[in-house]
Amino acid sequence: MTTAPEKLDAPKLPKRFYEQVATAPVEGGYAVHLDGRALRTPAKAVLAVPDESIAAAIAAEWAGQKDVINPASMPLTRLVNSALDGVSREPVETRAEILRYAGSDLLCYRSEGPASLVALQDAAWSPLIAWMQERFQARFVLAEGIVHVEQFPETIEAVDAALGELDILRLAALNTITTLTGSAILAVAMLHRHLSAEEAWAAAHVDEDYQIGLWGEDEEASARREGRWSEMQAAALVLAARG
């Protein structure tokens, strides 16, 4: 007779250990202080950002923690930690990851049916494909179904040029947007303020929202989507503050 495997207990969250949260100017930007001591990243770097509004938003996340510190409720803190501890060490690789998404962009893969979904995709995505060509001379090849289509090297080069010069925080934010949406085109559109975060999010979820309309929404899937949306909002805040 076999027994069911025991459920692993969720890791215990650390207790809140501070009373006061504040921002403070430092060389090159602003830091967040907990009881007068600078907040640090997991790699022990001082968590400092170049824009005061970003520091204030991070401070608000920490001030909002109650009895315990829950990283899941602090998407901006996680994004900045990732930028300072990870992206800063691999900026070329991070940019290359965004460009890889451009080579298989969500907006280029259209459903073969039903007609109602095809129409929704066309309405949401085709104007963005046209905008990329008109604004940046990035001509994307479209496909039906899931068969991979190769994009022109010139297209990827045009996307790279559209990204421009990026500081570490903006690069991390764009990488987050790209991976959340599956689309470098949507990330570029947000970078250049052609789309809001809400508009880009809706475009990224045309297929999912269509299925929800048919079959209803799963509670767990809804919770995961809400968590991803909070990450999207954090990335959008970085782009807006530094743009």
Looking at the structure, tell me whether residues 100 and 180 fall in a common domain.
Answer: yes
Is-contact 52 12, C-beta < 8 A? no
69 contacts: CB under 8 Å, gap ≥ 6: 13, 14, 15, 16, 62
- CA 111 to chain centroid, in Å, comes to 25
Please state, in angstroms and rounded to a whole number, the distance separating the CA atoms of residues 201 and 86: 25
Say if 80 falls within a structural domain: no
Cis omega (within 30 of 0) for bond into 11: no
Q: How many domains does the chain have?
A: 2
pTM: 0.93
Q: Are residues 64 and 128 in the same domain?
A: no
Please answer whether residues 14 and 69 qualify as being in contact, where contact means their C-beta atoms are separated by less than 8 angstroms.
yes
In terms of domains, do 95 and 62 share one? no
CA–CA gap between residue 203 and residue 142 (Å, rounded): 16
> Measured between alpha carbons, how far is 46 from 191 in angstroms, rounded to an integer?
27
Q: Is residue 201 part of a domain?
A: yes
Contact present, 80 and 87 (Cβ < 8 Å): no
pLDDT recorded at residue 176 = 98
Domain range for 12 is: 1-73
Give dist(CA 230, CA 79) in Å, integer: 11
For position 1, what pLDDT does the model report? 46
Q: How far does CA 67 lie from the centroid of its chain?
A: 28
Report if residue 60 sits inside a domain. Answer: yes
Same domain as 134, residue 16: no
Question: How much is the pLDDT for 77?
Answer: 98
pLDDT for position 2: 46
Determine the pLDDT at residue 217: 87
Both structure tokens of 164 = 């421009």
Residue 86 within a domain: no
Based on the fold, state whether residues 95 and 69 are members of the same structural domain. no
Report if residue 81 sits inside a domain: no
User: Among 192, 170, 173, which Cα is nearest to 234's?
Assistant: 173
pLDDT tens digits, the chain, 243 residues: what are they? 444 454 456 678 999 999 999 999 999 899 999 999 999 999 999 999 999 999 999 999 999 999 999 999 999 999 999 999 999 999 999 999 999 999 999 999 999 999 999 999 999 999 999 999 999 999 999 999 888 999 999 999 999 999 999 999 999 999 999 999 999 999 999 999 999 999 999 999 999 999 999 999 889 999 999 999 999 999 999 999 954
Q: Using CA of residue 186, residue 73, residue 222, residue 9, what is the dihedral sign?
A: positive
Are the beta carbons of 161 and 178 closer than 8 angstroms? Answer: no
User: Are 188 and 162 in contact, with CB atoms under 8 Å apart?
Assistant: yes
Per-residue pLDDT, 10: 63
Q: Which of 73, 101, 135 is the last residue of a domain?
A: 73
- Reported residue count of the chain is 243
Say how far apart CA 145 and CA 31 lie, in whole Å. 48
Closest C-alpha among 215, 94, 111 to residue 163 = 94
SS3 label, residue 242: coil
Q: Which of 43, 73, 103 is the last residue of a domain?
A: 73
Q: Are both 13 and 69 inside the same structural domain?
A: yes
Residue 62: give its domain's CATH number. Answer: 3.30.2180.10
Do 147 and 67 share a structural domain? no
- 58 & 103 share domain: no
Answer whether residue 78 is part of any domain: no
Both 122 and 197 in a single domain?
yes
